[in-house]
Structure 1
Amino acid sequence: MLSDSMKKTVRHAHQNIAEQLEDYRPRSSQNYLVAEIAKTLAGEYHKSQRICVIEAGTGTGKSLAYCLGALPLALAKKKKLVISTATVALQEQLIEKELPFFKEHSGIDFKFDLVKGRQRYICVQKLMAAVNQDDTQLSLVPTTSSPLTDMEQKCLRELANAYQNKHWAGDRDSWEDTIPDKVWNLIACDKHACQRQMKSHHLCPFHLARQKIQQMDVLVINHALLLADLELGGGTILPEPEETYYVIDEAHHLPHITRDFSSAAATIKGTIEWLEKLLKFSGRMAGTIVSQKAIGQNFKLNDAANDVSKLLKSVRDSLDQADFNYNDDDTYRFVHGEVPESLTTQAKDIADATLDTLRALNKMHDALTTDVSDGDVQAFLADPLLVESGQYINRLEQLNKLWFSYAAKGESTPHARWIKRMEYKHHHDHLLCDCPIEVGFYLKDKLWRECAGAVLCSATLTALGSFDHFSKESGLANEPGVKFIKADSPFAYETQATLHIPKTKVEPTDKTFSDYLAEALPTYLDKRKANLVLFASYWQMGHVVSALRKKKLNILVQGEMSREALLSRHKAAVDLGAGSILFGTQSLSEGLDLPGKYLENLVITKIPFAVPTSPVEEAQAEFIQSKGGNPFLSITVPDAAKKLVQSCGRLLRKETDSGRITILDRRLITKRYGKAMLDTLPPFARQID
């Protein structure tokens, strides 16, 4: 239960913040969220499962709400508050604006920091080794085979100088210029080579950053880092889940990111080639390790790796002879994820042999790490070997994950499995892929049932007015104590904006619809104001742009320049009073903030239905059909409804904004699912021709 003193702390902090905000207006929806978050985390709804799912419309002030509702309680209960986001933009907003403002004015004292994955930091030893090597020998890892260009070498030296002179903290994000991937891969921190227990790595930026975590009260992370910690059992990178309150902002991304994180892929011939390199490398590594046990482990590694290669060659021959019906994208998907019996048997043997190889290499890696720590092997000799063995360990882990899944039988969770045929100039290969269709069970077991409490929030979590779709995807369906909350936006939609659905001559499913758009669009643009036109595909956008430019229409197009440059040009034109026309696809329908005069006329060309072309989407549809469901109504329509809400959300960003939305898709009126979509949109004033 929330104590009276805790309620007083929250009210006092809210009052302090309100006094510092210009044009602050009390918002009943925000007050409601603060109270519900605090009560959920205090255990008023369920003693053990303290989780709430919040859909908060634009302008609700959800970040202030979760800071007020969760932080005082976290401090009082001596829990960490971890805020996870899907985008860098929101992370920056929290770290640079909202948390500093909250700390300064709320009257609550706390420490906060941004936590990034180790791959965002340099390993100092690797940086110095790369700089000090002869230019022709800049190959520390098996993935970097060609020498660095002059430009890349210059970049490497600039990074080293800046770090040594304390002008750079050693993380990729704070370097003002772009660091080429090839250079970064050479010097990035990795979990196998850059270990804190080794003296030569004590002062690497990643380990210094991790030391600060224990002193922080609030940690801002991204969803990928959250999943990386859960994969390691929780509490390895981040604080223990049972000692943590999580705020999952932009929560609608979490199921898809979890699915991507849980997938695995590997080629056949490519794997055979790097296994041959591993055999040569392990001999060099065994020769460097002081302990005699390394010789025995090297023998085990060689035997196991050779077994993997033999088995993969057998799979290669089978796939070359198989009469799989590959599609136009050279992809063959196994129906219901069921792999042929012959491949399942081989998969089990490959998974076992891969695991044996991995165990032997891990023991050799640990032995060399111990030798360096004990002073028996010098760090400059060991570091390149540890870097390379780390690369092989990562590859073996991925390989084992893939083949272990291909060997699975009677699994409770459906998987998508497919093969992609890859053609090169002088040879061909097969890429085998695996991805779970549903990941809710994973989040349920690893996070929801382990954490001290969680708040999931986003502007779009419901689909067609219900949380059912999201709760199933995220593993929260039928979970006891989970509180689902919908907080309305404070906007006066009826007076701030008009939604217009005009009559159209051509249906969006018609082949001539793109030509029709090119003809009709100018009618719905206001050249004196800021316009945004959203398309469902790049091809259709390109077709319309080409036609309209022939009519001398000045258009800013997504993809023709960086997002930053595009928006700068758009705002500059509006500031000059010249108006602007901005064209984009679905990726511009989320996270784009163009308040006030920077967007007054929004045109959506068609309902943003996704075409299920990827093997995962096809497998998902197939699975639903096998259960007697309708994939279009249970996946495609809910996803499109959420995207349409996001698209319409671009227009009104503040309570003083106004404008017009035009949707050139009559299916919102003529189809039953369209009417359901229309009902989920905010209550704009409607003009339906």
Structure 2
Amino acid sequence: MLSDALKKTIRTTHTSIAESLDGYRPRKSQNYLVAEIAKVLAGEYHRSQKICVIEAGTGTGKSLAYCLGALPLALAKKKKLVISTATVALQEQLIEKELPFFKEHSGLDFKFDLVKGRHRYICVHKLNSALDEDMMQMSLVPTLSSPLSEQEKNCLVALQNAYQNKQWQGDRDSWADTIPDRVWNLIACDKHACQRQMKSHHLCPFHLARQKMAQMDVLVINHALLLADLELGGGKILPEPDETFYVIDEAHHLPHITRDFSSAAATIKGTLDWIEKLLKFSQKMANAIVSQKAIGQNFKLNDAANDAAKDLRSVRDLLDQADFNYNDDDTYRFEHGIVPEQLTLKAKDISDATLDALRALNKMHDALTLDVSDGDVTAFLADPLLAESGQYINRLEQLQKLWFSYASKGDSIPHARWIKRLEYKNHHDHLLCDCPIEVGYYLKDKLWRECAGAVLCSATLSALGTFDHFAKESGLKGEEGVQYIKANSPFDYPKQATLHIPTTDKEPTDKAFSDFLADALPKYLDRTKGNLVLFASYWQMEHVAKKMRLKNWQILVQGEFSRDALLKKHKSRIDSGHGSILFGTQSLSEGLDLPGAYLENLVITKIPFAVPTSPIEEAQAEFVTSKGGNPFLSITVPDAAKKLVQSCGRLLRKETDQGKITLLDRRLVSKRYGKAMLDTLPPFKRQIDY
């Protein structure tokens, strides 16, 4: 329960913040959120399950609300507050703006920091090794398919100089220029090679950051790092879940990111190639180990790796002879995720052999690490071996995950499983993929039932008027004590914006719709204002842009510049008193902040329905159908409704903004599902032509 002292602290903090904000106006919805968040985390609704799901419209001030509602409680209860986001933009906003302001004016004494995964930091030893020709020969060849170019070598030299001269902190995000993936993969920190107990890695940027983390009260992370910690059992990278209050901002991304995180994939020939290299490498590693504990592990590793390779060759032959009906994308999906008996049997053998190899290699890796700690082996000799064994451990983990799933029969959790044929100049290969269709069970077991409390928030969590779709996706359906809260935006929608649905000559399903857009769009654009046109596909956007440019329309098109450069050009045109027309796809419908004159005219070309063409989406639809459901109504329509709300949310960013939304898709008024989607949108003034 919330004590009187805590209530007083929250009120006092709220007052201090309000007095420090220029032009602050009390918002009922924000006050409501602060109170509800505090009550949920204090256990006033449920003693053990302290979770709330919040849909807060634009302008509600949700980040300030969860800081006010959760942080005083976390400090009083000696819990950590972990704020997880889906985008770098929101992380930067929290770290550079929101939290510094809150700390300065709240009267609360707390420390905060941004926490990034290992792979965002360099391993200093790897960086130095990458510029040493002899070390390259010893340790890093498996990561490169071809030698580094001069430009890539120059990038490495620049990184090393900047780090040694303390002009760079050693993380990828603070480097001003782009670091090519090939270069970064050579020098990135990883959990196997860059270990804190080894003296040569004490001062690596990642370990310095982790030491600092223990002193923090508030940690800002991304969803991927949250899932990485849960995968390890929780409390291995981040604080223990039962000692943590989580704020999951941009929570609508969590189910999809969890699904991607839980997937696995591997090729056949590619795997056989690196297993052959592993067999050669294991002897080199065994020769370096002094510890008696690792005796015999090399033989076990070789036996297991040879068994796995033998079975993989059998699978290769099986797939070459199989009469699978591959689609135009060279993909074959197993119906209902059911793998043929022959493949299932081989999968079991490969899974077992891979697990044995993984255990043996882990023991060798740990033994060599111990030798270095004891001073029996120099770090100079061991580090390249540990770096390479770490790569093989990661590959074996992924391989075992894939084949263990393929070997599973009668899963209670539905999976999508598929094969993609890969054609090269001199050979072919098969990529085998696996992905769970539903991940709610994972979040339920690993997070919701373990954490001290959680606040999930976003501007779009409900679909068609209910939270049911999100609750099912995220594993909260049927969970006791979960509070579902809607906080209305302070915007005066009917006064600030008009939603216009004009009559159209063509339906979005018509092949001539793209040409229709090119002819019709000029009627709905204003050359003197900030315009944004959102398309459902890159092809359609580029087709329309090409035709309109022939008629002397100046258009900024997504993909022709980086996102930052594109927005700078758009804003520059507006700032200089000219209009600007920005063309973008669905990725610009979220996280894009163009307040005031930067966006006054928004055109949405069609309802953003996802076309179920990927194996995962096909498997989802198949699963829903097998249960007697309608995948279009239960998956496609709710997802499209949320995306449409996000798209419309680009127009109004502040209470002083005004503008118009034109939607060139008549299905909102002509189809039965259209009314429900229309009612999901904010109450803009409506202009529907007939």
Q: Same fold (TM over 0.5)?
A: yes
Q: Could you say what secondary structure the match of 1:142 adopts?
A: helix
Between 1:432-441 and 1:291-300, the stretch displaced more is: 291-300
| Alignment-derived partner of residue 451 in structure 1 | 451
- Please tell me the residue identity of whatever aligns with 2:526: D
Alpha-carbon shift at residue 203 of structure 1 (Å): 1.0
Output the CA distance in 1 between the equivalents of 2:252 and 2:111: 28
Counterparts of 2:144 and 2:377, CA distance in 1:
25
Q: Work out whether 1:166 is the aligned partner of 2:152.
A: no
For 1:185 and 1:606, the matched residues in 2 are separated by 40
Counterpart Cα distance in 1 of 2:167 and 2:568:
29
Residues of 2 paired with 1:507 and 1:156: CA distance? 53
2: distance between equivalents of 1:175 and 1:567? 21
Tell me if structure 2 keeps the 8 A contact 1:351–1:400: yes
Give the match for residue 439 of structure 1: 439
- Note the C-alpha offset of 1:146: 2.6
Equivalent runs, 1:204-353 vs 2, <5 Å: 204-353=204-353
Partners in 1 of 2:144 and 2:191 — Cα distance?
A: 18
Q: Match of 1:399? A: 399
Contact 1:136–1:147, Cα closer than 8 Å, also in 2: no
Give SS of 2:358's match: helix
Aligned to 1:100: 100
Amino acid corresponding to residue 345 of structure 1 in structure 2: L
Give the C-alpha shift of residue 295 in structure 1: 4.3
Q: Deviations over 1:55-109 (max 9, x none)?
A: 0000000000000000000000000000000000000000000000000001111
Deviations 1:418-464 (A, max 9, x none): 00000000100000000000000000000000000000000000000
- Residue 45 of structure 2 aligns to a residue in which SS? coil
Deviation at 1:139, TM superposition (A): 5.4
Contact 1:119 1:188 (C-alpha < 8 Å) held by counterparts: yes
Partner of 1:681: 681
Report if aligned partners of 2:416, 2:435 keep a CA contact under 8 Å in 1: yes
How far 1:147 moved relative to its partner?
2.3
Give 2:473's aligned residue. Answer: 473
- Taking the aligned partners of 1:382 and 1:254, their CA distance within structure 2 comes to 39
1:141–1:186 Cα contact (<8 Å) kept? no
CA contact (8 A) 1:139 1:147 kept: no
State the match for 1:361 in structure 2.
361
Asked if the contact 1:50–1:481 (Cα under 8 Å) also holds between the matched residues in 2, the reply is yes
**TM-superposition CA deviations, 1:26-74 (whole Å, max 9, x none):** 0000000000000000000000000000000000000000000000000
Q: Secondary structure at the match of 2:559?
A: coil
Distance 1:271 1:114 in 2: 36
1:550-604 alpha-carbon deviations (Å, 9 max, x no partner): 1111111000101111111111111122101111010000000000000000000
| Closer, same or farther: CA 450–135 of 1 in aligned 2, 3 Å | closer
**Equivalent residue number for residue 89 of structure 1:** 89
Deviation (angstroms), 1:141:
4.9
Shift in alpha-carbon separation, 1:391–1:588, aligned structure 2, 3 A: same
1:148 partner letter: L
For this pair of structures, how many residues does the alignment match? Answer: 689
Match of 2:6 in 1: 6
Provide the rounded CA distance (Å) in 2 between the counterparts of 1:544 and 1:161: 47
Quickly say closer, same or farther: Cα 1:340–1:136, change in 2 above 3 A. Answer: closer
Superposition TM-score, scaled by structure 1 size: 0.99
Query: How far has the Cα of 1:294 moved from its partner?
Result: 3.4
Q: 1:653 to 1:676 in 2, by over 3 A?
A: same
Contact kept, 8 Å, 1:52 with 1:482, in 2: the verdict is: yes
Task: Tell me how far apart the structure 2 counterparts of residues 136 and 9 of structure 1 sit (CA, whole Å).
Answer: 58
Task: For residue 291 of structure 1, report the CA deviation from its aligned partner.
Answer: 2.7
Residue in 1 that maps onto 2:522: 522
CA distance in 2, matches of 1:143, 1:54: 44
CA distance in 2, matches of 1:505, 1:157: 59
Secondary structure of 2:184's counterpart equals helix
- 1:598-630, Cα deviation, whole Å (9 max, x unpaired): 000000011010100100000000000000000
* 1:414-563 equivalence runs, <5 A: 414-563=414-563
- Alignment of 1:38 with 2:33, yes or no, is no
**Counterpart position of 1:383:** 383
Contact 1:138 1:147 in 2 (8 A): no
Residue by residue, what CA displacement relative to the aligned partner does 1:405-428 show, whole Å, maximum 9, x if unpaired? 001011110000000000000100
Retained in 1: the 8 A contact 2:468–2:477?
Answer: yes
CA distance in 2, matches of 1:333, 1:217: 47
Return the alpha-carbon distance in structure 2 between the equivalents of residues 68 and 272 of structure 1: 55
Task: Map 1:536-615 to 2 at 5 A.
Answer: 536-615=536-615
Q: Secondary structure at the match of 2:142?
A: coil
Aligned residue number for residue 632 of structure 2: 632
8 Å Cα contact 1:365-1:386 kept in structure 2: yes
1:134 CA drift (Å): 4.7
- The CA distance in 2 between the partners of 1:136 and 1:410, in whole Å, is 47
User: Which deviations, in whole Å up to 9, do the C-alpha atoms of 1:208-257 show, x marking residues without a partner?
Assistant: 11011110000000000000000000000000000000000000000000
Question: RMSD between aligned alpha carbons?
Answer: 1.0
Mapped contact 2:139–2:384 kept (Cα < 8 A): no
Letter of the 2:598 counterpart = Y
The alignment-based identity, stated in percent, is 82
Alignment pair present for 1:412 and 2:445? no
- Is the 2:439–2:474 Cα contact (8 Å) retained in structure 1? yes
Determine helix, strand or coil for the equivalent of 1:125. helix
Letter in 2 for 1:12: T
Residue 371 of structure 2: aligned partner: 371
Q: Which structure 2 residues correspond to residues 641-680 of structure 1 after superposition, within 5 A?
A: 641-680=641-680
Cα distance change, pair 346–232 in 1 and its aligned pair in 2 (3 A): same
The residue matched to 1:140 in structure 2 has which SS? helix
Q: C-alpha separation between the residues in 1 aligned to 2:131 and 2:268?
A: 35
Return the alpha-carbon distance in structure 2 between the equivalents of residues 301 and 101 of structure 1: 55
CA distance in 1 between partners of 2:468 and 2:136 (Å): 58
Q: Is this contact kept in 1: 2:41–2:454, CA < 8 A?
A: yes
Q: Which amino acid aligns with 1:193?
A: A
Mapped contact 1:141–1:388 kept (Cα < 8 A): no
Deviations 1:289-315 (A, max 9, x none): 113453411111111100000000000
Kept after mapping to 2: 8 A contact 1:139/1:145: no
In structure 2, the CA distance between the partners of 1:282 and 1:135, relative to structure 1 (3 Å rule), is closer
Instruction: Answer yes or no: is the 8 Å Cα contact 1:279–1:302 preserved in 2.
Output: yes
3-state SS of the aligned residue for 2:143? coil
Q: Does 1:65 align with 2:88?
A: no
124-133 or 72-81, which moves further after superposition?
Answer: 124-133
- Native 8 Å contact 2:143 2:186 kept in 1: no
Preserved contact between residue 130 and residue 138 of structure 1 (Cα < 8 Å): no
Partner of 1:195: 195
What's the TM-score, normalizing by structure 2? 0.99
Letter of the 2:302 counterpart: N
Per the TM alignment, residue 531 of structure 1 is displaced from its structure 2 partner at its CA by: 0.6
| Aligned residue identity for 2:452 | A
Task: Indicate if the aligned counterparts of 2:129 and 2:136 stay in contact, CA closer than 8 A.
Answer: no
Q: Distance in 2 between matches of 1:248 and 1:532?
A: 29
For the residue of structure 2 that corresponds to 1:33, the secondary structure is: helix
Whether the 8 Å contact between 1:286 and 1:298 is mirrored in structure 2 is: yes
**Secondary structure of 2:140's aligned partner:** coil
Question: 183-192 or 479-488, which moves further after superposition?
Answer: 183-192
Shift of 1:138: 8.2
Give the SS at the match of 2:593: coil
Deviations 1:631-686 (Å, cap 9, x if unpaired)? 00000000000000000000000000000000011110011101110000000001
Structure 1 consecutive aligned stretches of length 4 or more whose deviation exceeds 3 Å:
132-139, 292-295
SS at match of 1:220: strand
Q: C-alpha separation between the residues in 2 aligned to 1:179 and 1:50?
A: 42
